[in-house]
């Protein structure tokens, strides 16, 4: 269960890091790439912030995630400059790819396509009685 302090710090980091990452992508020549921060989870001791990033188009996602991880000190410094009046110490940033949109898209495609288990129950494995 997250405390109010964790939620507040997560919200501050989420808002500012989304702006930092999007500006870095456009300055780096990736004009058609959309980077959004879907969630930020902060540990109870406020030392680590897990940043879940959603990248569109997804073909460049792994490459951009590697770039974020390698430039983590620079991103942390830029974020610390923006939040210096709100946070005393900046937590360590850990970046993760949020693929929930792809997962939802896969479910929708399977329900609309030929592989719909509701229309064709033979696609599902038969349950064995214990």
Give the integer Cα–Cα distance in Å for 64 and 71: 10
| pLDDT surpassing 90 at residue 59 | no
Query: Once rounded to an integer, what is the mean pLDDT over residues 19-30?
Result: 86
Question: Of 62, 73, 69, 78, whose CA–CA distance to 27 is shortest?
Answer: 78
Is 107 inside any structural domain? Answer: yes
Residue 124 lies in a domain: no
**Tokens encoding 20:** 């930092």
Rounded to an integer, what distance in angstroms lies between the CA atom of residue 119 and that of residue 116?
6
Interval 67-87 mean pLDDT: 92
Calculate the average pLDDT of the chain. Answer: 86
Residue 117 lies in a domain: no
The first and second tokens of residue 65, run together, are 């995630």
- 98 within 8 A of 31, measured Cβ to Cβ: no
Contact 51, 37 (CB under 8 A): yes
Q: What is the CATH number of the domain that holds 63?
A: 3.30.300.20
- State which residues form the domain around 46: 4-112
Interatomic CA distance for residues 42 and 6, integer angstroms:
6
Q: What is residue 26's predicted lDDT score, i.e. its pLDDT?
A: 84
> What's the pTM?
0.77
66 in any annotated domain: yes
């Amino acid at each position: 269960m997250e405390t109010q302090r964790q939620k507040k710090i997560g919200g501050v980091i989420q808002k500012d890091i989304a702006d930092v990452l999007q500006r870095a992508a456009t300055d780096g020549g990736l004009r058609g790439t959309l980077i959004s921060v879907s969630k930020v989870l902060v540990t109870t001791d406020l030392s680590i912030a897990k940043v879940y990033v959603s990248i569109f188009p997804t073909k460049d996602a792994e490459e951009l995630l590697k770039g974020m991880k390698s430039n983590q000190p620079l991103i942390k410094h830029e974020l610390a400059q923006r939040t210096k009046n709100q946070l005393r110490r900046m937590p360590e940033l850990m970046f993760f790819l949020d693929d929930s949109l792809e997962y939802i898209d896969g479910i929708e495609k399977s329900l609309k396509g030929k592989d719909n288990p509701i229309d064709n129950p033979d696609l599902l494995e038969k349950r064995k009685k214990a």
